[in-house]
Amino acid sequence: MARKPGGGRTKPKATPAGDGAPRGTLKVDLALQGGGAHGAFTWGVLDRLLEEPWLVIEGVSGTSAGAMNAAVLADGYVAGGAEGARLALAGFWRAVSDAAAWSPLRRSPVDVMLGRWSLDTSPAFIAMDVMTRLFSPYDLNPQGLNPLREILAACVDFERLARSPMKIFVTATNVRTGRGKIFRNAQLSPDVLLASACLPTMFQAIEIDGEAYWDGGFAGNPTITPLVRETDADDTILVQINPRERPGTPRTAAEILNRINEVSFNATLLKELRMMALLRQVVGPGAQGEAARWARMRTHRIRSDMMVRLGQSSKLNAEWAFLTMLRDEGRRAASEFLETRGDRLGRTSTSDMNVLLEQEC
C-alpha cells in the first residue's frame, strides 16, 4: 500500500458507483472555508479527494486558509497532476509549521499536559490577545511583516497558477465599501492571498490597486456565486471548518468571541445557500437562466465534529503534530463522505438545505 505525501498510508479507494464498477468522471466544485491552522483539516480532505481519479475539480472558491489551500492545490496540479497537488499541499503546510517553530505562540505546559491543542493558557497568546485590544497592528507591527508572504512566494508559482485548468476564486473584503472582491487565477499573488486572510486586529490591511482589503470571511466564507456563474460543474462540495451550530450557550469571554466569529463568518455563506434552497422550491422544471442554474446546483458538505471541540486560539497553533492530526481527520471525514454519500455525487444533493428556510418563532 502506497504512502501518501503527507505521511501515513493511503486508505483503500471508495467505490462510488455503489457496486464496485468503475464510474465515469464527474466535474465538481469545491468551497473551502478559512480558519487559520484549522485549514489543515481542509488539506486532509483535499489529499483524500485527489486520490479519486473520477473526481475532476473544475472550480475552487476559497477564503483565508481556504484561499491558500486553493492556490497551492491548483498550482501543484499544473506541475504534476493529482500527485503534484498532494505534494504541494504537504510542502506548504510543512513550511507553515517550520516558520512557526520558534514562535512564542505555543501551547503552555498546562495545555500540553492536559492534551489540549488550544493556546488559552499560553503567556504569549494572552499577552497578544490583550495587546490587540489596546493597540492596532499599525502600532504593533509598523513594517507590516508577515512570514506567510515569503512562504506563499516560495510555495506557489503564480505565473503557472494563472494557467491552471482549475478556476480559482479568492474572496477579500474591501475595507472602504465593505463589499467582497473576487480575485481569479491571473490576478492572484501573495498579497491577494494575504488580503483574504487579513484579520484586522492582527495585520495591517493589504493594499491592492489602491484599495485596502481585510479578511474575506466578512464578505463570504467562501463565496458560492462565482462557482454557480462561471463553472460547468453542478456539484459543489463545501469543506466546513467553522461549525454552523454549536451546543450550549457560551459563557466565558473566549467562548463568546469564538461563537461571534463563527456566526459572522458563516452569515454570508448561509445567505447564499438559503437563496439556493428557495430557488429550488420556486423554479420550475426546464427553466433557463441564472436562477435555474442556482436551483439545480447539487450541494454536499464534508465536516467533522472535532472542529466543534477546538477553540478559537487553536487557529494560531502551527505545531506539526496538530496540523497532521487535523490532516488525518480531514482524510477520515472525506473517506467517510465518499463511502456513505459518494454514490449520490452527480445525482442529488447530500446536504439538506431546506432546514435553512425554517424560521424560528
Instruction: Give percent of the chain with pLDDT exceeding 90.
Output: 66
> Which pTM was predicted?
0.89
Q: Count each helix (H run) and each strand (E run) in the chain, helices first.
A: 13, 8
Residue count of the chain = 361
Residue with cell 494572552: 126
What average pLDDT does the segment 301-323 reach? 93
- Please classify residue 126 by burial: count the beta carbons closer than 10 Å to its beta carbon, then call 0-12 exposed, 13-18 middle and 19+ buried: middle
Residue 359 clears pLDDT 90, i.e. is over it? no
What average pLDDT does the segment 71-93 reach? 97
Span 207-242, pLDDT tens digits: 999 999 999 999 988 999 999 999 999 999 999 998
Provide the 3-class DSSP secondary structure of residue 176.
Answer: coil
Residue 13 clears pLDDT 70, i.e. is over it? no
What phi and psi, each to the nearest 5 degrees, are found at residue 26?
A: -135, 130
Span 39-59, pLDDT tens digits: 999 999 999 999 999 999 999
pLDDT for 10 = 46
What phi and psi, each to the nearest 5 degrees, are found at residue 334?
A: -65, -40
pLDDT for 262 = 82
Average pLDDT, the chain: 89
What average pLDDT does the segment 273-280 reach? 79
